[in-house]
Amino acid sequence: MLCGEYAVTIGVEALALPVTQGQWMHVWEFDSPGGQDRLIWEAKDSAGATWLNESFSLPLAQCETEIAGENTADPASENGEGHQSRERLILQRLLLSAAADTWKSGKSYRIETQLEFDRSSGLGSSSTLLANFARFARLDAQQLQHKIFGGSGYDVAVAEVGKGLVFWKEVDQPHWGPWSLSSSLTQQWKVVFLGEKQNSRSSLGGVKERLQEIQNDDFMLHQLQQVAGAVKMAQQVTMLEAGLEMWQALLSMSLGLETPYQHFGIQPVKGGLCKWLGAWGGDMLLVNQTFAETHANVLAQFKSTPWNQLIKY
């Protein structure tokens, strides 16, 4: 999401673009050995290493523990035994969402997923998983993400469409339409990966009360809508970057969250751009060449990729 984070949940338009890397899902159906129907799920990272391997008896049993959508951890956000247990419950709920006749009697299944991006990058391991599974099981991906994870659903929409879009919610219903960003405006942009995957849904929960206050504040809501609209319509680099900086400053002030400048203890740069991407305070930074050259010492410890190489235009 380039612009619209958090406020998208209260009706402000969000602007989002797909990345060139995604996630594969392969499904195999075969005769059950020994008459016992099973489903095996194996998840692999971008290097091909297995990070999750679960087996379920068919027909599937109901989940033993409920997982509240907005409190469900992202697959890459936890480690250890608790993470494995939670991940199994997430998969179980995902599989149970499919129609019963998806899993045929006398048949067993193997589902294998593989990421093309690093799990700690924040590029959408959950959203691409849901989009793939919804396509396989012929489900509504937006309803599925709301049931499993909560959140706005913009990332699932981008994963489904595979193109840039403007996304908004009206009476809790998701809507989206086409939106494009010229690569000529972003030639000097870089995405800096901070290497610490943030749980965007937990992050959203932390500011939910303040967002509700903003939703009832006509002036502040109008300000956010105006800035997001200016970013959407920007046709010049200076206007686009100024709009993104203004959005971040306004949202930071409204929600009481640190900007990257405050977080890293650095000063803004004239003509520079430094904006959070992903969950606030983690995942990624969007910077332009002016900022990168001025604060090269701060960014040197992190991996970065040119925006135009990462984004699918």
* pLDDT at residue 199, as a whole number: 61
* pLDDT at residue 75, as a whole number: 41
Is residue 23 within 8 A of residue 128, CB to CB? The reply is: yes
Residue-wise pLDDT tens digits, 219-269:
999 999 999 999 999 999 999 999 999 999 999 999 999 999 999 999 999
> What is residue 281's three-state secondary structure?
coil
* pLDDT at residue 198, as a whole number: 62
| Backbone angles phi and psi of 177, in degrees to 5 | -145, 175
Burial class (CB in 10 A: 0-12, 13-18, 19+), 209: exposed
Q: Tell me how crowded residue 212 is: count the other CB atoms within 10 A of its CB.
A: 12
Residue ranges of the chain whose pLDDT lies below 70:
62-84, 197-203, 205, 281-282
| Backbone angles phi and psi of 65, in degrees to 5 | -130, 130
* pLDDT at residue 197, as a whole number: 67
pTM summary value: 0.87
Q: Tell me how crowded residue 228 is: count the other CB atoms within 10 A of its CB.
A: 25
What CATH code is assigned to 182-310? 3.30.70.890
- Of 160, 135, 134, 132, the C-alpha closest to 147 is 134
281 dihedral zone (left: phi>0; alpha: psi -120 to 50; beta)? left
Domain boundaries, the chain: 23-158, 182-310
* pLDDT at residue 81, as a whole number: 53
* pLDDT at residue 70, as a whole number: 38
* pLDDT at residue 120, as a whole number: 84
